[in-house]
Amino acid sequence: MANEIPTKLGLPFVELDALHWAAGWRVLSQTDPNEFVRRVRVATSAEAWVIDGAVRGLILNRATHLVWLPVRDFNSEWFVTAEVMATR
């Protein structure tokens, strides 16, 4: 669904997992947080975009809409709720 929305709206699609993971399955936000932030800023430099992935304050504070799909995992729901509340 996440890749259908930008297609219909004519917006760039950004997959956070692609920015989050580096070669060798390194978690870039932990091993090189500056590079992760740089990648996210470059990917979201357009006026509008659609992102698929875990919500981050870096993105959430610039978002105008949030589509929250049902998640059956309580931990995932708690993480998203905590991130949203932390940025408001």
The pLDDT tens digits of the residues spanning 19-30 come to 888 888 888 988
Burial class (CB in 10 A: 0-12, 13-18, 19+), 10: exposed
Domain span holding position 75: 4-87
* Strand ranges in 1-88 using DSSP code E only, listed in sequence order: 13-15, 21-22, 26-27, 50-52
Write down the pTM of the prediction: 0.70
Q: How many domains is the chain partitioned into structurally?
A: 1
| Residue ranges for the chain with pLDDT beneath 70 | 1, 55-56, 69-88
Rounded distance between C-alpha atoms, residue 62 and residue 40, angstroms: 12
